[in-house]
Amino acid sequence: MKSVWRWTVLILVGVLFGWACNRQSTLPSAPPDATGIVELIQEPNNAGLLQILVQGDQSLASGKLARVWVTIGEDTEIVHAKTARKIPYSELKEGQRVQVWFSGGVRLSDPGQAYGRVIVVTD
């Protein structure tokens, strides 16, 4: 009987540990591709995607985009910096400061366009 309880407790601990690890985020080690303020949030053509316009801290002369539309899809990870916890896209608000890591290339239109891999809300 003790063996059954022991295995039950071990399985429960493993499940809880796995859930906790899944809720935590591992932030990229590379510097962000864009840092700035969320200027606008929109859902383009009801495509089921979300886009945020990030007003960058740096200009094109510094090698960073001044403004960029970031598309947020199902695989975009959004994280709150203070807690390192994943948050839903519905918690993104205009005026928040963010750091963004892109997935793939950037369309160099004005503003630029990129797909978000990781978005960290810093305030």
Q: Give strand ranges (E) for 50-96.
A: 50-56, 67-72, 77-80, 85-86
Report domain extents, the chain: 34-121
Residue bearing tokens 């859902």 = 43
Q: CATH top-level class for 34-121?
A: mainly beta
pLDDT digits (tens, 9 = 90+) for 58-87: 654 455 668 999 999 999 999 999 998 999
Tens of pLDDT, residue by residue over 111-121, are: 999 999 999 99
Q: pTM, whole model, 2 decimals?
A: 0.74
CA of 94: how far to CAs of 45, 46, 121, in Å? 20, 19, 11
